[in-house]
């Protein structure tokens, strides 16, 4: 779906250096790295919000995928209710109201917001706001979902529930996900691959496939998850302490 070839990105200084990465259709990939390693910059490059300073970003069949982008802040419009916040991307595309309302209602069900259609952001919890943001990003039937630390500000219980719900949606909808996170356990629990970046300028120092045995038998509390967390954490800690 997406390929980075010798990608560099500079602002007033170098942020990313020689990134080579292929993303297959339907993959769930997490990106970890120290602060300033360029994690979020990779998402912005993938979305074409910014261009590389050097190198090439190519897409399957040379056609950019339909992209959904979710940030740490839910960025909802406070004067619009849940339904109207979710249909906003469809409005901008000129989709008729009856069609956009039907699609938004489907996503309200998928993200577990039944009964909240007419609620305004000020009446929602942090987790509910993030569910609205997720639904708004996916209502356009995106092929590639970019997540920039969407659960970082949530409490542990809410975060875990949203992680589990996101996994269920991903398995059902079969889109591709790139997730930036500072949480090793979140990256390992959710992903099929975990990419670790070096201190800035960010380079890929590890690209590790996560093979999950007995995922449906409480992988979150398994020895396998503990061992994988330790391996990835040690990589990250060694880089931050270097």
For residue 219, what pLDDT is reported?
A: 75
Residue with tokens 């987790």: 127
Where are the chain's structural domains?
1-65+146-242, 76-142
Question: Does residue 213 have a pLDDT over 70?
Answer: no
Q: Is the pLDDT of residue 240 over 80?
A: no
What pLDDT sits at residue 214? Answer: 58
pTM of the model: 0.91
Confidence of residue 86 (pLDDT cuts 50, 70, 90): very high
> Average pLDDT for residues 30-37, to the nearest whole number?
91
- Fold designation for 1-65+146-242: Rossmann fold (3.40.50)
Supply the pLDDT for residue 13: 86
Q: What is the pLDDT of residue 218?
A: 73
Average pLDDT over every residue of 88-92 = 93
What rounded mean pLDDT belongs to the chain? 90
Q: Are 56 and 22 in contact (CB under 8 A)?
A: no
Query: pLDDT, tens digit, for every residue of 96-147?
Result: 999 999 999 999 999 999 999 999 999 999 999 999 999 999 999 899 999 9
Buried b (16+ CB within 10 A) or exposed e, 118-156: eebbeebeebbbbbbbbbbbbbbebbbbbbbbbbeebee
Give the pLDDT mean for 67-88: 94
- Cα–Cα distances (Å) from 198 to 12, 42, 67, 111, 235, in that order, read 19, 13, 26, 34, 10
DSSP one-letter code for 80:
S
Burial class (CB in 10 A: 0-12, 13-18, 19+), 14: middle
Omega of the bond prior to 96 within 30 degrees of 0, cis? no
Question: Is the per-residue pLDDT at 216 higher than 70?
Answer: no
pLDDT band at 197 (very low <50, low <70, confident <90, very high): very high
Query: For position 7, what pLDDT does the model report?
Result: 95
Residue range 49-69: mean pLDDT, rounded: 87
What 3-state class would DSSP assign to 109?
A: helix
| Structure confidence at residue 62 as a pLDDT band (50, 70, 90) | low
Residues 6+ apart with CB under 8 A from 186: 30, 151, 159, 163, 179
Between vectors from CA 177 to CA 7 and to CA 192, what angle results, nearest 5°? 95
Q: What is the pLDDT confidence band of residue 215, given thresholds at 50, 70 and 90?
A: low
Percent of the chain beyond pLDDT 70?
Answer: 96
The token duo for 143 is 């092929």
């Amino acid at each position: 779906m997406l390929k980075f070839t010798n990608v560099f990105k500079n602002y007033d200084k170098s942020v990313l250096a020689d990134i080579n990465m292929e993303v297959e259709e339907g993959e769930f990939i997490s990106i970890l790295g120290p602060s300033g390693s360029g994690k979020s910059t990779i998402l912005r490059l993938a979305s074409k919000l910014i261009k590389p300073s050097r190198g090439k970003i190519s897409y399957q069949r040379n056609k950019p995928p339909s992209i959904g982008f979710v940030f740490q802040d839910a960025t909802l419009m406070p004067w619009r209710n849940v339904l109207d916040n979710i249909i906003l991307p469809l409005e901008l595309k000129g989709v008729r109201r009856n069609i956009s309302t039907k699609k938004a209602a489907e996503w309200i069900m998928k993200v577990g917001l039944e009964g909240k259609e007419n609620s305004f952001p000020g009446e929602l919890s942090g987790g509910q706001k993030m569910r609205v943001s997720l639904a708004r990003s996916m209502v356009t039937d995106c092929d590639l979902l970019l997540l920039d630390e969407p659960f970082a500000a949530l409490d542990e219980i809410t975060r875990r529930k949203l992680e589990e719900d996101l996994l269920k949606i991903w398995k059902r909808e079969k889109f591709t996900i790139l997730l930036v996170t500072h949480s090793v356990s979140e990256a390992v629990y959710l992903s099929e691959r975990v990419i670790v970046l070096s201190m800035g300028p960010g380079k890929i120092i590890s690209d590790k496939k996560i093979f999950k045995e007995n995922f449906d038998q409480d992988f979150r509390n398994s020895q396998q998850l503990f061992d994988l967390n330790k391996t990835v954490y040690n990589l990250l800690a060694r880089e931050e302490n270097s």
